[in-house]
Structure 1
């Protein structure tokens, strides 16, 4: 891959639209940017230069679905590339495990051979029937150890993300599917950074978590922190998200604040994908800043012992996360 010097009337460099800009590419990566004189004649000039789209949820295109045997994947990828997508996941819809496994295997072969394909996105079959959308209810199943193991094997390290309903059986921390994912090399980031006291739900005096961020060995080195955003579990019962059995005076306390975001806490993950080692601290919250309220500090963002030392990844060696 040859080195290039590109010039643009306008280019989006970082978060700034820059006039008379230039971008230097070496070895397939951007190595320098600037404005004005680049010190050499450009190899190409354009009116506008912006980063390409990265599509993490795409089921196909140009009349082809990635689920279909014999579909023209080249046409689908070319269509999205023509409109600015430079890298994407191959999304597969819910199907019985026996039918899904060969589809995952075919997608993994394509992902290994095509630099435009980041990996595989499974939008099911681990969905709740009550929130399945357009998915075939007959194709849905619980994330059993056997199902997870079969998909991991078929994916051959190319599973990028999986949609999994937390309310399904066997979705809890330490149950077989999560244990199998950890055995396959994934790290449970909430457990890693927050320990056994982590929780994203509280119910009838019990607490735990059903909400995850899992990363493989490539990605975990770039994780600088993970924490639960306690926007639901720590709210008083008086003002919780459900209005059932409440008196009018209690209903009047409703407000459109963070407590209405979900009936679970979100997992917030900090990533540093810079080329150089990450500085201590979370890139969003800052060093040691509480995630929600003074009683719930964002432990792990700046303790010096975690895996939060960022490293870059070359295209074709993308990290995988569930």
Structure 2
């Protein structure tokens, strides 16, 4: 069935299609936006649970109403999630057990020695994951799709960034996060969730990294920022809040953030960039952070500035055993990312 036939037969006001992202009727072939699910959390260093995030967001997405006031018929864009890798959750859990053993040994005072069999095994598996994500992304980018990624921990989008780095000569990253994620091989894991931006900066096509909401960082990360010669610009949460308390508007702060970004922008959204009341079960929640509406306002301002969103990820959503609040927020955030990315590429119109 063609995309137009699917649109003609679908009632956006009624129950959605069971099992489909947002209940929409589209497949990856008929959608404009394709989401890669990556249920992986091997290197998380505090609470686990983010590997369950992609499925939880998928399930919660059926409760998201499809109308967006500023984007008429947004649902007609077409959004679809790829099949979940069957063996990935089991592999992630086994490797996570190994990483916990390693982390506990470090916390007990053991020295981190080169050639450690646990870190070697995990680093090899993580690189295999990067290769899988990159090849999957390349397949759908060749089909002219907008490709997003739904993690899992924040290490998961590196393969997508590598794929985009081969497609675009130059682009910037807008990172919304509680953490700077600029540690080199944190705890011996080359592809740690705490090292995603350190690894991203190895890609020559990434000209700028603009960080928003950062409120947890170490001396090593501050040095990376200071020595970046402007390649990394960090809007620390405490500084942003101080400006707001002193009377500066969020609009003006957003304008400044956007000025630091180039024409092509990748959005990396760790959900712990939000106030933890919106994501209490994320792996490493930190007091402070953005309100949901602040984040969406920044996203809209970015698009209306003429920047083009070339891809995105949403990571670190971790559902609670007894409720789907985190997934509910994550699903709504994902819907906004999908549709505003499409507006930025001219695939949808916005008022």
Give the alignment's TM-score, normalised by structure 1. Answer: 0.31
Counting strand residues as a fraction of each chain, which structure ranks higher?
Answer: 1
Higher relative contact order (CA 8 A, sep 6+): 2
Greater helix proportion: 2
TM-score, normalisation: structure 2: 0.30
Q: Which of the pair has more CA radius of gyration?
A: 1
